[in-house]
Structure 1
Amino acid sequence: MPKKTGPEDLHGYDPGGDTVRVRRHDLARLLLTFRSLAREQAAGSWEHMRDYDMSFERLADAVDTAAKARQGDRWAGPDLRMRCTSTELAYAWPDGAPYDGGTTVTWNIEGYGSHAASDDEDDNFPMALCGFRWASEEGRRMDGLPDCPECLREVQLGGDRPRGGW
């Protein structure tokens, strides 16, 4: 359990784990504000799954996990408002992603786990939805969903929301 930094402090810092305790509601508000600002940027000025975006997606995972634990059977699924928008206004998206109408396949790369990539037979150097790239002879196609959290999230979001949705 993180230690409080002061008697009236709502957010505790644990120096042993270098973690900060933040209320789920405050984190959700921060994420929603970030998404609003990202939508207002010039087109193509923010690359998907790079820079701060991956960190914000992981924070959204934490909010969803907390909401699921708190709501139990009443949980209706991830709050997509905190997730990447699939519009082209703010992001440069990877080619072949499920929200582009493309299909993905799962590749297992020895020592690097499984990742989702575009179903392009002619690609000698596939790129996963998370940005990971490998030579096609280094991996093998497999059934099922990827174990890479970023790739899995992208496949699930592509299935949950039509292109251009918010």
Structure 2
Amino acid sequence: MELVLIREKLADHDQQLISIREELADHSEQLKLIREKLADHDNQLDSIREELVEHGKRLDAIEEKLTEHDERFDFFAMKFLEHDQQFMEIRQEFKAEISLLRNDMVTRLDEILVFVRRLDLERVTTVSWIERVEQKCDKNTIGIEKNTTDIRKNTTDITEIKRFLNMN
């Protein structure tokens, strides 16, 4: 009996071992599938890693270009600031020159105004002098005409006296 029990137990254990072997075979198949999937994932990760390296290189190139552009922008910004400063200096000089020109023009216009006033005064003086001379001329003309009339009258009188004397 004991042997039968032992045989039964051994048969049970054999059955259990067979089922465990089958399970292990299933697990082995599953592990193979998992290993294959892991290998696929490793390949995918490698390709992703390669793509990331390529993207990293591209990003490095882009970063270099951006750095170059930043340097150029900094250069242009400095030039703009320099030119802005130069324009401010030119503007200040221009304002000063315009102010000097304006002052010079005002001074010259004042001189011209003084000169024109002097000319106007001389004109007024000359006009009044001409009027006085014309008045004197008119008086003298009247005097000359009177003298001419007197001379003609006297000439006529002298002629008559001469005739009278010649007749006598």
Q: TM-score range by the shorter chain?
A: under 0.3
Higher relative contact order (CA 8 A, sep 6+): 1
TM-score when normalising by structure 2: 0.15
TM-score when normalising by structure 1: 0.15
Structure holding more strand per residue: 1
Structure holding more helix per residue: 2
Q: Whose radius of gyration is greater, 1 or 2?
A: 2
